[in-house]
A = this chain, B = another copy of it.
Amino acid sequence: MCELLGMSANVPTDIVFSFTGLMQRGGGTGPHRDGWGIAFYEGRGLRLFQDPAASVESEVAKLVQRYPIKSETVIGHIRQANVGRVCLANTHPFVRELWGHNWCFAHNGQLADFQPRPGFYRPVGDTDSEAAFCDLLNRLRVAFPEPVAVDILLPTLIGACTDYRGKGVFNCLLSDGDWLFAFCSSKLASITRRAPFGPAQLKDVDVTVDFQAETTPNDVVTVLATEPLTANETWKIYQLGEWSLWRRGECIAHGKTGD
């Protein structure tokens, strides 16, 4: 299994605090030694940092912690390999261009004997995760040859996630840079921070941050993670089959698929 990290915010926000907690699980407090990656949207562009090395030992991870990149939408992942060997091509998140946007995807779980339908997008590596991402984009493209609003494509997206969930464990984060979609098949948590901000204490390492000192009263920042990252805050724990859609820190749609 792997760990997911997502962020949606209404102002460019750095994710150094949450990333620091997550990175400890990459060979420190957790067993996820098989690579990590994090993608930051910057306008329509996407900055992607990845390393097949364990995150606690990664030079690139140290850069990301030292050099706070501010973004409104972030997707991160640390990996414990189950399908596909440890290499850069198998490292999440995965990125493809669809309708002139960078789509970014990370997956936690495992799909048994996943056979994607043939299509335009093809996996570069050999993970079930990237194969599912390509299959998802192929389905969207077949259903919508031209771009549509997210509320129009949402049923297709949820339908695909429900199918994948039937083949194993499928927790995922997906974004096109405008919105962030989260699907929980087994484990996912989220927290929305807004004024009045208080201090937060990481669970995995002795780091506390006072968000009050780093924010303005109008900031809204939602963080999603496989498990809560802080010890002194109340995270929402997702139910099985629950999904949510975020834009600029706020939940704009949510629901739950049948068991």
Give residues in A with beta carbon < 8 Å to B: 42-48, 50, 52, 59-60, 63, 67, 87-91, 96-97, 99-102, 120-125
Contact = CB atoms under 8 A, between A and B. Distances in A.
A45 B124 contact: yes
Contacts of A43: 87-89
A248 to B, nearest CB: 19
Contacts of A121: 97
Top 7 closest pairs, chain A to chain B, by CB: A45-B88, A45-B89, A100-B122, A44-B89, A42-B88, A63-B63, A59-B67
Nearest to A48: B48
Count this chain's copies in the assembly.
2
A44 B88 CA distance: 8
A59 B69 CA distance: 11
Contacts of A59: 63, 67
A103 B227 CA distance: 36
B96 A122 contact: no
A141 to B, nearest CB: 8
Nearest to A125: B44
A97 to B, nearest CB: 6
Given A42-B88, A97-B96, A50 B47 contact: yes
Contacts of A124: 44-45, 97, 100-102
Contacts of A47: 50, 88
A125 B45 contact: yes
Contacts of A97: 96, 121-122, 124
Contacts of A101: 124
A45 B122 contact: no
Most chain B C-beta atoms within 10 Å of own C-beta, residue among A43, A46, A123 = A43
Contacts of A46: 88
10 contacts: A44-B88, A44-B124, A45-B87, A45-B124, A47-B50, A48-B48, A60-B63, A63-B63, A96-B97, A100-B123
